[in-house]
């Protein structure tokens, strides 16, 4: 028996007059004055079936039972639709299948949710993921993901990169998250860590002479889930020996160019803009600036140095945003609340009315040159950030994003990519009172910044970069330390004791000591890329089987309780009974 001659979504007017068989899911079923219409659906689309009781009495009888999501097999003749019934929005909209025989292949109970229903509870969706995945949006996401990964592999492989698999059961790699641990039965009391990234393996592969490595690698990070984080994510992971920054950037640009061209038919325009981290923070208040709109942060620290306005005079940094809207007092109070949530003490402002006149409680303190600098178009508002540069950048950066969204300033059709370079090497952790690596501990300092590691570690820049697209961090990487003594020095700065260095990273130090080439690389988040490429809002819907916010899979019930026998074998005793 033949299931189908074509996919449902593939039938066109060329098939008119032909007899064909189609199989698929019941998308909709409509009764119309004696005729029954069924949209039969598969991955390629839908085809309209017409069941006429005179032509096919048995098939017609069968239609009474059919509900949405029943699987059917239909045989009949492709005919042209009457002119008034043509649906120009559907690729199959010119034809329909006049059914002669219809078979119910599989049944389906009333659905827990309709496929076209919006805002369905996520747990319900994930528990019934087989239904959820039949939705158009998810079918598109998953297919787009496969297409994108295919293009990536082709571009990278044609540049001479080898796909090398690295272990899932490994040792902790510090990427800043908690590790997922796996108990080792054969070595009771010991644990493997699932890779947060293949970072150290890929470095070892360079030391081992493989020169150009890539992998579509699954990575595990036991993080508290936020909207833009996953515990189980996929990276395009890349490493090269004897790296040259321009060469690496241009390969990655070619790859993205090919992805956008082949998946969307959009031409990107490499080379992408490059911007230092300092500049991104100053002008956009973010290390992942969204360049689809202007609304740039402006600098006033110099101009306000001797200000009569006490707040401006005593802080190291004053910057401002000129927003093209005349805000009311009520609006400004709300914006101040928002600014405070991001760490501001308050929100000074000047409103320029339609008459062009400035209004502000701080006006009387401002000098002519200050007023000159802030002067803006009638019908606009200047919002100030004053304080430590990091806080000012954060507050104004967040305001910039929020207001651009509210005022509709974002060009939703634009694609704006840039490289953010020269990240700081270290950041001070107030809680633990020590330096943390901004990227990871294997990143090398920028050329000429080695000495700063001793004299002024906070000022040292790293040879690290991110690729940002439409305000999303798509990828990041760095050139690595290949000198064992420099690596040790950085470990010391991070207060990793010599014993810990040996126990955690002894293999890396040994490998670095045996002829390590200079090397560097990058990793892209496949899910983040897909989110941007597919305009998908929900990071989890870029994966076929994601976990929910609580890190659980409502479909399979993972994580589940372990069999006490397994735990005994592993030498593990839960301290709290499982819930």
- Residue 96's closest CA among 165, 28, 48, 34? 48
Q: CA-to-CA distance for 249 and 287, rounded, in angstroms?
A: 18
Closest to ligand ASP by CB, 199 or 286? 199
Closest to ligand ASP by CB, 478 or 487? 478
Closest to ligand ASP by CB, 233 or 347? 233
| Residue 398 interacting with ligand ASP (CB under 6 A) | no
- SS3 string, 170-192, reads ECCCCCCCECCEEECCCCCCCEE
3-state secondary structure of 133: coil
| Residue 307 interacting with ligand ASP (CB under 6 A) | no
How far from chain centre, in Å, is Cα 113? 27
Q: Cα–Cα–Cα angle for 312, 318, 320, nearest 5°?
A: 120
3-state secondary structure of 151: helix
Size of the site for ligand ASP (CB under 6 A): 9
CB of 244 to ligand ASP, least distance (A): 16
Helix (H) or strand (E) holding 396: helix 389-406
Q: CA-to-CA distance for 316 and 400, rounded, in angstroms?
A: 21
Rounded alpha-carbon distances, angstroms, from residue 368 to 1, 308, 371, 383 = 88, 11, 5, 18
Closest to ligand ASP by CB, 469 or 521? 521
CB of 421 to ligand ASP, least distance (A): 14
Backbone angles phi, psi at 385, to 5 degrees: -120, 130
| Residue 421 interacting with ligand ASP (CB under 6 A) | no
> Counting beta carbons within 10 angstroms of the beta carbon of residue 357, is it exposed (0 to 12), middle (13 to 18) or buried (19 or more)?
exposed
Taking residue 527's Cβ as centre, other Cβ atoms within 10 Å add up to: 23
Given a contact cutoff of 8 angstroms between Cβ atoms, the answer to whether 395 and 385 are in contact is yes
Q: What is the DSSP letter of 378?
A: S
| Residue 318 interacting with ligand ASP (CB under 6 A) | no
| Residue 175 interacting with ligand ASP (CB under 6 A) | yes
CB of 519 to ligand ASP, least distance (A): 10
Closest to ligand ASP by CB, 397 or 525? 525
| Residue 457 interacting with ligand ASP (CB under 6 A) | no
Q: CA-to-CA distance for 304 and 364, rounded, in angstroms?
A: 14
Rg (CA), the chain: 30
CB of 80 to ligand ASP, least distance (A): 55
Q: CA-to-CA distance for 552 and 560, rounded, in angstroms?
A: 9
Q: Which of residues 468-497 bind ligand ASP (CB under 6 A)?
A: 476-478
- Residue 141's closest CA among 576, 553, 527? 527
Q: CA-to-CA distance for 19 and 519, rounded, in angstroms?
A: 62
Helices (H), 180-275: 199-207, 245-264
CB of 463 to ligand ASP, least distance (A): 11
CB of 73 to ligand ASP, least distance (A): 48
Burial 545-578 (b: 16+ CB within 10 A, else e): ebbbeebebbbeeeeeeeeeeeeeebeeeeeeee
Residue from 92, 166, 197, 487 touching ligand ASP (CB under 6 A): that is 197
Taking residue 306's Cβ as centre, other Cβ atoms within 10 Å add up to: 9
Region of 105-113, 161-169, 225-233, 518-526 interacting with ligand ASP (CB under 6 A): 518-526
Residue from 523, 531, 532, 533 touching ligand ASP (CB under 6 A): that is 523
Residue from 24, 285, 521, 546 touching ligand ASP (CB under 6 A): that is 521
CB of 261 to ligand ASP, least distance (A): 25
Residue from 199, 203, 286, 307 touching ligand ASP (CB under 6 A): that is 199
Helix axes 389-406, 277-284, angle to 10 degrees: 60
CB of 523 to ligand ASP, least distance (A): 4
The pattern of x and - marking residues 120 through 159 that bind ligand ASP according to CB under 6 A reads ----------------------------------------
Closest to ligand ASP by CB, 76 or 174? 174
Burial 132-161 (b: 16+ CB within 10 A, else e): bbbbeebbebbebbeebbebbbebbeeeeb
Beta partners for residue 50, in sequence order = 37, 98
Residue from 404, 522, 531, 532 touching ligand ASP (CB under 6 A): that is 522
Rounded alpha-carbon distances, angstroms, from residue 229 to 236, 529, 538 = 16, 13, 10
CB of 515 to ligand ASP, least distance (A): 21
Region of 5-13, 244-252, 327-335, 515-523 interacting with ligand ASP (CB under 6 A): 515-523
Closest to ligand ASP by CB, 221 or 322? 221
Region of 251-259, 264-272, 500-508, 516-524 interacting with ligand ASP (CB under 6 A): 516-524
CB of 203 to ligand ASP, least distance (A): 9
| Residue 445 interacting with ligand ASP (CB under 6 A) | no
Closest to ligand ASP by CB, 214 or 415? 214
Taking residue 329's Cβ as centre, other Cβ atoms within 10 Å add up to: 10
CB of 12 to ligand ASP, least distance (A): 46
CB of 217 to ligand ASP, least distance (A): 9
Interface residue list for ligand ASP (CB under 6 A):
175, 197, 199, 476-478, 521-523
């Amino acid at each position: 028996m033949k299931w189908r001659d074509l996919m449902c979504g593939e039938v066109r007017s060329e098939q008119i007059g032909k007899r064909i068989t189609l199989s698929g899911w019941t998308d909709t079923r409509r009764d119309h004055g004696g005729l029954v219409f069924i949209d039969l659906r598969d991955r390629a689309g839908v085809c309209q079936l017409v069941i006429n009781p005179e032509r096919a009495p048995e098939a017609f009888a069968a239609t009474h039972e059919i509900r949405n999501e029943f699987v059917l097999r239909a045989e009949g003749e492709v005919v042209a639709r009457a002119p008034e019934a043509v649906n120009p929005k559907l690729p199959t909209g010119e034809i329909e299948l006049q059914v002669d025989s219809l078979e119910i292949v599989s049944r389906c109970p009333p659905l827990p949710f309709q496929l076209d229903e919006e805002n369905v509870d996520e747990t319900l969706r994930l528990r019934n993921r087989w239904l959820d995945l039949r939705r158009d949006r998810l079918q598109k996401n998953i297919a787009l993901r496969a297409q994108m990964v295919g293009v990536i592999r082709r571009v990278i492989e044609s540049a001479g990169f080898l796909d090398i698999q690295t272990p899932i059961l490994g040792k902790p790699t510090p990427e800043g998250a908690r590790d997922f641990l796996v108990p080792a039965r054969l070595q009771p009391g010991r644990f493997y860590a699932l890779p947060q990234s293949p970072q150290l393996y890929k470095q070892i592969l360079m030391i081992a002479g493989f020169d150009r490595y890539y992998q579509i690698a699954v990575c595990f990070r036991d993080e508290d889930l936020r909207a833009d984080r996953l515990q189980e994510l996929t990276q395009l992971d890349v490493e090269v020996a004897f790296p040259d920054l321009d060469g690496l950037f241009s390969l990655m640009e070619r790859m993205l160019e090919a992805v956008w061209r082949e998946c969307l038919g959009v031409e990107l325009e490499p080379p992408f803009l490059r911007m230092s981290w300092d500049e991104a923070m100053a002008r956009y208040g973010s290390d992942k600036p969204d360049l689809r709109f202007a609304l740039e942060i402006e600098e006033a620290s110099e101009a306000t140095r001797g200000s009569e306005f006490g707040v401006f005079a005593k802080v190291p940094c004053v910057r401002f945003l000129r927003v093209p809207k005349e805000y009311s007092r009520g609006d400004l109070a709300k914006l101040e609340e928002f600014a405070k949530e991001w760490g501001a003490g308050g929100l000074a402002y000047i409103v320029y009315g339609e008459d062009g006149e400035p209004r502000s409680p701080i006006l009387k303190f401002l000098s002519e040159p200050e007023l000159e600098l802030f002067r803006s178009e009638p019908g606009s508002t200047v919002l100030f950030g004053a304080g430590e540069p990091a806080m000012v950048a954060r507050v104004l950066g967040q305001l910039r994003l929020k207001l651009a969204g509210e005022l509709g300033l974002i060009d939703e059709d634009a694609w704006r990519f840039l490289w953010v370079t020269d990240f700081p090497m270290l950041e001070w952790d107030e809680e633990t009172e020590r330096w943390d690596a901004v990227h990871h501990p294997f990143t090398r300092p920028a050329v000429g910044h080695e000495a700063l590691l001793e004299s002024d570690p906070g000022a040292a820049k790293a040879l690290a970069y991110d690729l940002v697209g439409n305000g999303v961090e798509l990828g990041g990487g760095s050139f690595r330390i290949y000198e064992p003594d420099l690596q040790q020095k950085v470990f010391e700065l991070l207060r990793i004791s010599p014993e810990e260095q040996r126990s955690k990273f002894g293999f890396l130090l040994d490998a670095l000591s045996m002829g390590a080439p200079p090397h560097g690389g990058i990793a892209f988040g496949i899910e983040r890329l897909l989110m941007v490429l597919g305009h998908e809002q929900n990071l989890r819907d870029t994966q076929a089987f994601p976990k929910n916010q609580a890190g659980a899979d409502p479909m399979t019930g993972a994580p589940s309780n372990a069999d006490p026998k397994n735990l005994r074998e592993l030498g593990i005793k839960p301290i709290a009974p499982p819930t």
